[in-house]
């Protein structure tokens, strides 16, 4: 009665105090462990995770085997294959940058129209109007430069460790294709801001392709969709950049990673 | 009845077993560890560091954006993206078909051929192959850099073309034969130079590959930082503005 008279605030407080004993009960009687057990027994949890917390060899094995992404890896690997001064993580870092480029690239596509009258202003807006737009663009740009560098360095590491030797010959060839595709991805993206820098860089670059013996002019025409860098070239570069080349890279990456496994995991330098 | 059935099923191929397994393992892995957590922890740490680095970089340094594209105003110099500036630099010294298409095409094919030239297993996984390896790589890097810088300076201030044209040498020789001879000749000379170390196939490849990387990197640096208006050489700190 007194609580009622004291208004809603008092009501609330009284309400809280009245569950408090139950809370205490829950804490005392149902230990954290028990709550955890209860959670992991729910249908929802079990539909997501098929093994227990990965703190036993068995659960760790199941965690790697049962997850589509982790399954890129074997369950166990030689201790020597962990040595960072062997791979310098360069293949993995190249892959990470490729993934970052995919995410930031998709977000950039929300704001960009590949039209000679719109493109430049869209990039301008990213820099000045769109929240975090400049950040998004910078991340895409620097990750792209970074990927060219890390893929090249990865090739150097594979070369100097002799990791291209049988049975890995074919994976080296796949790698060279990936390097070429990485250059092409970066180059097609270069045109998209449609500023003086991109326009003339692509003019210079496609002129070089035009010097191919016999079919140079035809190659150049095919690339540009015309005789000079214009709307058709922008559309072609855009399409190649956002879908054509990324799909090709994804396919070759699948082959590359599959091959690493089929060649017996990464090469290692003797017993450790 | 039952034996008959078994007889039939036995003749049906249940699985194709290859003489060589699809998975090729050179040696039985000794001393193995679980991927979770050993490898995954390293991968997570590397991914976190690179992501952090990328975020900081994108926070501090802005990507360039110049004026709207204008086909009527050609900037001087007009440069390709940095990773193609090595080819653009070659363009200054040889026939455009060579510089723009043939040299990079041959380079890609030669890279692909590497595992088929050196296919001797046994030293897989050993950095620089042998004790001689690092020395060969070092010699090759210095050799390639010195020759390259010397040739570029010679071509800029004396001019192969000017010299050869003045004595009536035909264009094909100037723009195709001479550059090809220089590229093949200097690679060959490098192999001769390391011969006293009795290199095997892998060590010869180390010499050539290191030369290739050195040329690629030095050409890129010169194209990026040392070429100004008219694609002439300038010191980076005395670079005239682009116009
Ligand atoms: C998009 C580019 C690429 C990605 C994302 C990539 C990724 C990877 C990864 C994650 C590995 C596992 C070991 C490691 O990280 O070193 C690997 C191994 C390998 N990569 Fe790549 N790679 C790329 C390009 C290349 C290139 C350009 C080459 C060579 C020309 C190459 C040749 C190889 C070979 C031969 C192996 C096996 C190495 C060993 O067994 O030690 N890859 N790659």
Three-state SS sequence of chain B: CHHHHHHHHHHCCCCCCCCCCCCCCCCCCCCEEEHHHHHHHHHHHHHHHHHHHHHHHHHHCCCCCCCECCCCCCCCCCCCCHHHHHHHHHHCCCCHHHHHHHHHHHHHHHHHHHHHHCCCCCCCCCCCCCCHHHHHHHHHHHHHHHHHHHHHHHHHHCCHHHHHHHCCCCHHHHHHHHHHHHHHHHHHHHHHHCHHHCCCHHHHHHHHHHHHHHHHHHHHHHHHHHECHHHCECCHHHCCCCC
Domain spans of chain B, in order of start: 34-63, 76-117+128-238
Q: Which among A94, A132, A200, A224 is the top mutation candidate for probing chain B, defined by the most B β-carbons within 10 Å of its own β-carbon?
A: A200
Facing residue for B121 by CB, picked from A156, A165, A204: A165
Q: Report how far residue A215's alpha carbon sits from residue A209's, in angstroms, rounded to the nearest whole number.
A: 10
In this predicted structure, the answer to whether residue A136 has a pLDDT above a threshold of 80 is yes
**What pLDDT is stored for residue B243 in this prediction?**
74
Distance (angstroms) between ligand 1 centre and the Cα of A60 equals 26
- The SS3 assignment for A76 reads strand
Contact B97 A211 (CB under 8 A): yes
In this predicted structure, the answer to whether residue B4 has a pLDDT above a threshold of 80 is no
For residue A53, what is the nearest residue in chain B, using CA coordinates?
Answer: B36
**Element of type H or E holding A111:** none
- Which residue shows structure tokens 């990791």? A163
Q: Which residues in chain A are classed under CATH 1.20.810.10?
A: 83-262
Q: Which residues line ligand 1 (CB under 6 A)?
A: A 87, 90-92, 94-95, 98, 151, 154-155, 158, 163-164, 168, 171-172, 175-176, 178-179, 182, 253, 256, 260, 266-267
**What pLDDT is stored for residue B181 in this prediction?**
97
Interface of A with B in 71-110 (CB under 8 A): 73-82, 84, 86, 89, 92-93, 96-97, 100
DSSP letter at A70?
A: G
Quote the pTM value.
Answer: 0.89
Taking the CB of residue B80, how many other CB atoms lie within 10 A of it?
25
What token pair was written down for A54?
């990965």
A34-38, A250-254, B71-75, B239-243 — most confident range: A250-254
In this structure, whether the domain defined by A83-262 belongs to CATH 1.20.810.10 is answered with yes
Contact B34 A61 (CB under 8 A): yes
In this predicted structure, the answer to whether residue B14 has a pLDDT above a threshold of 60 is no
- Mean pLDDT confidence for B105-124: 95
CB B93 within 8 A of CB B99: yes
CB A119 within 8 A of CB A112: yes
Closest residue to atom 14 of ligand 1, CA basis: A91
DSSP letter at A242?
A: I
Q: Return phi, psi of residue A78, to 5°.
A: -60, 145
For residue B62, what is the nearest residue in chain A, using CA coordinates?
Answer: A138
Closest residue to atom 28 of ligand 1, CA basis: A175
- Mean pLDDT confidence for A95-118: 98
In this predicted structure, the answer to whether residue A38 has a pLDDT above a threshold of 70 is yes
In this predicted structure, the answer to whether residue A213 has a pLDDT above a threshold of 80 is yes
- Mean pLDDT confidence for A48-56: 87
Contact A165 B120 (CB under 8 A): yes
């Amino acid at each position: 009665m007194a609580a009622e008279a004291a208004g809603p605030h008092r009501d609330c407080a009284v309400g809280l105090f009245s569950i408090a004993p139950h809370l205490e009960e829950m804490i005392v009687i149902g230990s954290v462990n028990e709550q955890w057990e209860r959670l992991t027994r729910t249908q929802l949890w079990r539909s997501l995770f098929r093994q227990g917390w990965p703190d036993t060899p068995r659960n760790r094995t199941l965690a790697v085997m049962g997850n589509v992404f982790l399954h890129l890896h074997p369950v166990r690997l030689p201790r020597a294959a962990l040595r960072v001064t062997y791979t310098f993580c360069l293949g993995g870092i190249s892959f990470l940058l490729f993934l970052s480029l995919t995410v930031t690239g998709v977000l950039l596509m929300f704001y960009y129209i590949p039209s000679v009258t719109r493109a430049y202003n869209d990039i301008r807006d990213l820099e000045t109007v769109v929240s975090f737009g400049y950040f998004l663009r910078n991340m895409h740009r620097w990750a792209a430069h970074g990927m060219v560098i890390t893929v090249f360095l990865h090739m150097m590491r594979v070369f100097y460790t002799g990791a291209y030797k049988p049975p890995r010959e074919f994976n080296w060839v796949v790698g060279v294709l990936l390097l070429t595709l990485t250059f092409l991805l970066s180059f097609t993206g270069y045109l998209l801001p449609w500023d003086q820098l991109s326009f003339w860089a692509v003019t210079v670059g496609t002129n070089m392709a035009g010097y191919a013996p016999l079919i140079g002019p035809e190659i150049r025409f095919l690339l540009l969709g015309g005789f000079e860098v214009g709307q058709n070239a922008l559309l072609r570069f855009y399409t190649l950049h956002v879908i054509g080349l990324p799909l090709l890279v994804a396919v070759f990456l699948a082959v590359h990673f599959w091959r690493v496994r089929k060649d017996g995991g990464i090469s290692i330098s003797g017993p450790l | 009845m039952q034996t008959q059935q078994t007889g039939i099923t036995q003749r049906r191929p249940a699985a194709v077993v290859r003489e060589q397994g699809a998975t090729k393992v050179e040696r039985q892995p000794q001393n193995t560890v679980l991927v979770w957590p050993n490898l995954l922890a390293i991968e997570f740490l590397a991914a976190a560091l690179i992501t952090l680095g990328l975020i900081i970089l994108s926070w501090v340094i802005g990507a360039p954006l110049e004026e709207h594209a204008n086909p009527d105003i050609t900037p001087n110099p007009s440069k390709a993206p940095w990773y193609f500036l090595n080819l653009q630099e070659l363009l200054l010294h040889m026939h455009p078909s060579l510089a723009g298409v043939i040299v990079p095409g041959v380079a890609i094919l030669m890279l692909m051929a590497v595992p088929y030239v050196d296919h001797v297993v046994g030293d897989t996984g050993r950095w620089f192959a042998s004790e001689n390896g690092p020395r060969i790589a070092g010699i090759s890097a210095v050799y390639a850099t010195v020759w390259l810088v010397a040739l570029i300076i010679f071509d800029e201030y004396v001019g192969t073309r000017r010299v050869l044209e003045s004595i009536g040498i035909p264009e094909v020789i100037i723009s195709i034969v001479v550059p090809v001879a220089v590229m093949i000749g200097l690679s060959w000379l490098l192999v001769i130079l390391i011969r006293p170390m009795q290199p095997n196939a892998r060590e010869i490849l180390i010499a050539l590959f290191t030369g290739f990387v050195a040329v690629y990197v030095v050409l890129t640096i010169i194209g990026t930082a040392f070429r100004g208006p008219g694609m002439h050489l300038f010191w980076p700190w005395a670079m005239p503005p682009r116009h």
